Amino acid sequence: MSAPLVLVSHPLCPYVQRAAIVLIEKGIPFHRRDIDLSNKPDWFLKISPMGKTPLLLVGDDVIFESAVICEYLEDTALPRLHPAEALRRAEHRSWMEFGSVVLQLIAAFYNAPDESTLRARAADIRSRFARLDEALHDGSTYFAGDRFSMVDAVFGPVFRYFDVFDQIEDFGFWQGLARLQNWRSALMGRRSVAMAASPDYPLLLSAFLRGRDSAISRRMA
Ligand SMILES: N[C@@H](CCC(=O)N[C@@H](CS)C(=O)NCC(=O)O)C(=O)O
């Protein structure tokens, strides 16, 4: 891979972070180009069919959609982050999709307009977390044992939100889910996951949440 890679980014975007984690895990040099998603520049709109971050620029080529970016990186650079066996690989892709659903539930949670909706959406997240906990194995460091995988790259950015949510209140996301908590700690300690977001991410996320005009923003006021 000789072309210089550019990751078109937004500092709070979890989909950008998953692509960044994969780039870092594979030791691929890249640089980020942050854009303001509330005021998308013309050059971005021209090359981004969905108008969303991330984009990966590979020379003159543009790859959009984070899962596709991750698969492209998997096809072109080692170490492999997917299992070698087709059925296991399919299983991992399924759980990556599950991670995207959890990200949508997180957005629904922080945008909940009132207390009862907030509670209901916290319960939705909690039930997905319980399901995820069942998919983990005792003693595993990462999703599928001791080797970091693509599923780990997806859930690092998911769990990062909760560093801030947990400071606002104990919404009961984690209670009784020991495997999930261990996995979360392992991911947050992983270098690639730490490097995928800037050190001021908690401050940026807090400011973003405060500005939502939602049940969460009123809690933080
Ligand atoms: N399915 C997309 C989702 C990307 C996405 O939702 N990006 C958000 C930022 S985290 C975005 O660009 N939103 C701007 C918009 O929708 O206008 C992916 O996996 O890349």
- How many A from CA of 161 to the centre of ligand 1? 16
Orientation of helix 14-25 relative to helix 150-168, angle to 10° = 130
Q: Report the b/e string of 110-130 with b at 16+ CB within 10 A.
A: bbbeeeeebeebbebbbebbe
What span, in angstroms and rounded, lies between the C-alpha atoms of 56 and 19? 9
What span, in angstroms and rounded, lies between the C-alpha atoms of 41 and 220? 31
Rounded to 10 degrees, the C-alpha dihedral 123/124/129/134 comes to: 100
- How many A from CA of 164 to the centre of ligand 1? 21
Residue of the CA atom closest to atom 2 of ligand 1: 65
- How many A from CA of 175 to the centre of ligand 1? 30
Q: How many residues does the chain have?
A: 221
Query: What are 151's two structure tokens?
Result: 């599923």
Orientation of helix 150-168 relative to helix 66-76, angle to 10° = 140
- How many A from CA of 139 to the centre of ligand 1? 34
Q: State which amino acid sits at residue 63.
A: I
What span, in angstroms and rounded, lies between the C-alpha atoms of 18 and 149? 11
pTM of the model: 0.97
The structural architecture, per CATH, of the domain 86-220 is Up-down Bundle (1.20)
What pLDDT, in 10s, does the model give residues 101-110?
A: 999 999 999 9
- Looking at domain 5-76, what is its CATH homologous superfamily? Glutaredoxin (3.40.30.10)
3-state secondary structure of 218: helix
Which residues surround ligand 1 with Cβ inside 6 Å? 10, 13, 15, 37, 51-54, 65-67
CATH 1.20.1050.10 in the chain: give the residue spans.
Answer: 86-220
CATH 3.40.30.10 in the chain: give the residue spans.
Answer: 5-76
What pLDDT, in 10s, does the model give residues 28-47?
A: 999 999 999 999 999 999 99
Looking at residue 27, its pLDDT comes to: 98
What pLDDT, in 10s, does the model give residues 58-98?
A: 999 999 999 999 999 999 999 999 999 999 999 999 999 99
CB 6 within 8 A of CB 57: yes
CA 216 to chain centre: 20
CB 44 within 8 A of CB 8: yes
Q: How far apart are the first and last CA of the chain?
A: 48
Ligand 1 site-directed mutation target among 52, 62, 161, most atoms within 8 Å of CB: 52
Q: Which atom of ligand 1 is nearest to the CA of 100?
A: 19
- How many A from CA of 26 to the centre of ligand 1? 23
